[in-house]
Amino acid sequence: MRNWLLPEYVEDILPVEALHIEVMRRQIIDLLFVHGYQHVMPPLLEYVESLLSGSGSDMDLHMFKVIDQLSGRMMGLRADMTPQVARIDAHLLNSEGITRLCYANSVLHTVPSGITQTREPLQIGAELYGHSGLESDLEVQQLMLRCLSISNVSKIHLDLGHVAVFRSLIKGANISLEFETELFSILQAKDISTLKEQCSKLEKNTREALMLLPELYGDKRILADAYRRLPDYPEIRMALNELSTAEEELKAIVDEISFDLADLRGYHYHTGMVFAAYASGCSNAIALGGRYDEIGKAFGRARSATGFSMDLREISRLVKPGIYPKGIRAPFQKRNKELEAKIEQLRKVGQIVVIELPGQKNESSDCDKQLVLHDGQWIVEEI
């Protein structure tokens, strides 16, 4: 193996795609900024215990680990920035009111989450802390859809779920933690035959409700089925009401909305509504989010929280990048104040100006215009 070959699922990003990703990143960060989300930059390395707190607990197998040469403790290369941002909110900012934070940087995974995905996603996202109402869920969901829209992702399908439905059924049946974990895994796998076998141990109402969950997938008509056929627990009613309200509020800004009451993704840390965005051309969700009200507890302060994240590299593959912009070629002239002023003027308005170096005249193939002196004035003309 040649020493310049990269590991599997690790790749360079070349200029056209790199510019495309960077433009999307800037647009999204600017959008989050005007909505009051403050940008934070957590470190790439932390002690493993911190990275695995809260929502990071599911990331243990996805995390690269190294020994800190200074302390001898185990450190991890972050696989998800959500627990880091929660630590910043709970431990460093320590605000009593609502806090809105956003982030954009690379994370590392030991294995890719999909056959076409990288082990170095460029994660961008937003988190809202300090509010437990549906209004903050809707703010985050609407913001996620706007981020996808300004990235030129078309025909977005939004999938909504609510972990409180399953939690309420488990709580009402007084099911052990071990059996709960087993049922969770079965529902995640959509293994109906095994679910039927395991549910035979339960009393009739719980058995029928759990067997019904995989069927409760589709448009808003399934909510009516859920209202009618699931047990009349207050938590379930509230969850279904929240899903119904979300559909009404979001349907005008998304192409399609569906519901999946058996979707338990992130069940171990999510506490309320969960959501995922899909687009044609990608079998995986292109953006994920949900409510996770206990995430700050490991850092000394449990906070209501909701948020979303997405991988800019995955999104960039769904949107055809433009042609890398051509620049303006300028001659190399020492101490020419008029030429320097013209170059500075062009660059201030976003024009690419490439100054030819001595011995390389007329070799800039990335330029389609040039600066020429005409009647004592520097002007731009086509090459």
pLDDT at 29: 98
How large is the average pLDDT for residues 162-169? Answer: 92
How large is the average pLDDT for residues 141-162? Answer: 96
pLDDT at residue 1 greater than cutoff 60 = no
Alpha carbons 284 and 265: distance in angstroms, whole number: 13
pLDDT at 70: 95
pLDDT at 171: 86
The answer to whether the CB of 79 falls within 8 A of the CB of 42 is: no
pLDDT at 116: 65
**Residue at a domain's end among 271, 298, 318:** 318
Are 154 and 249 contained in the same domain? yes
Are 350 and 231 contained in the same domain? no
Are 303 and 340 contained in the same domain? no
Segments forming the whole domain that contains residue 363: 327-382
Asked whether residue 7 is domain-assigned, the answer is no
Are 255 and 349 contained in the same domain? no
Q: What is the mean pLDDT of the chain?
A: 90
pLDDT at 47: 93
pLDDT at 184: 85
Asked whether residue 2 is domain-assigned, the answer is no
Asked whether residue 8 is domain-assigned, the answer is no
Closest CA to 51 of 117, 108, 115: 108
Are 301 and 365 contained in the same domain? no
Q: Is 304 or 201 the better-scoring residue by pLDDT?
A: 304
How large is the average pLDDT for residues 340-367? Answer: 88
pLDDT at 363: 62
pLDDT at residue 21 greater than cutoff 60 = yes
What are the b/e assignments for 227-245, b being 16+ CB within 10 Å?
eeebbebebbeebbebbbe
Are 141 and 116 contained in the same domain? yes
Tell me the pLDDT band of 32, cut-offs 50, 70 and 90: very high
pLDDT at residue 182 greater than cutoff 70 = yes
| Ranges 188-192, 211-215, 356-360, most confident | 211-215
pLDDT at 37: 98
Torsion sign across C-alpha atoms 133, 137, 140, 146? negative
Asked whether residue 165 is domain-assigned, the answer is yes
Are 62 and 108 contained in the same domain? yes
**Residue at a domain's end among 268, 291, 318:** 318
Residues 291-329: pLDDT tens digits?
988 776 777 777 899 999 999 999 999 998 888 999 999
**Residue at a domain's end among 278, 298, 318:** 318
Are 40 and 148 contained in the same domain? yes
Structural tokens at position 194:
């095994």
Residue whose tokens read 């800019």: 312
pLDDT at 364: 62
pLDDT at 187: 87
Residues 254-274: pLDDT tens digits?
999 999 998 887 767 788 999
How large is the average pLDDT for residues 33-51? Answer: 95
How large is the average pLDDT for residues 88-117? Answer: 88
Burial of 27 (0-12, 13-18, 19+ CB in 10 A): middle
pLDDT at 2: 60
How large is the average pLDDT for residues 44-58? Answer: 78
Number of domains making up the chain:
2
pLDDT at residue 115 greater than cutoff 80 = no
- For the ranges 40-49, 87-96, 231-240, 348-357, the lowest mean pLDDT is seen at 87-96
Are 96 and 219 contained in the same domain? yes
pLDDT at 157: 96
Q: Is 346 or 6 the better-scoring residue by pLDDT?
A: 346
Are 150 and 213 contained in the same domain? yes
Tell me the pLDDT band of 164, cut-offs 50, 70 and 90: very high
The proportion of the chain whose per-residue pLDDT surpasses 90, expressed as a percent, equals 67
How large is the average pLDDT for residues 41-69? Answer: 85
Asked whether residue 19 is domain-assigned, the answer is yes
How large is the average pLDDT for residues 66-83? Answer: 94
pLDDT at 283: 84
Are 161 and 265 contained in the same domain? yes
pLDDT at residue 249 greater than cutoff 80 = yes
Asked whether residue 65 is domain-assigned, the answer is yes
How large is the average pLDDT for residues 153-161? Answer: 95
How large is the average pLDDT for residues 340-366? Answer: 87
CATH number of the domain enclosing 298: 3.30.930.10
Are 290 and 252 contained in the same domain? yes
Asked whether residue 222 is domain-assigned, the answer is yes
pLDDT at 55: 53
Tell me the pLDDT band of 123, cut-offs 50, 70 and 90: very high
pLDDT at residue 53 greater than cutoff 90 = no
Asked whether residue 3 is domain-assigned, the answer is no
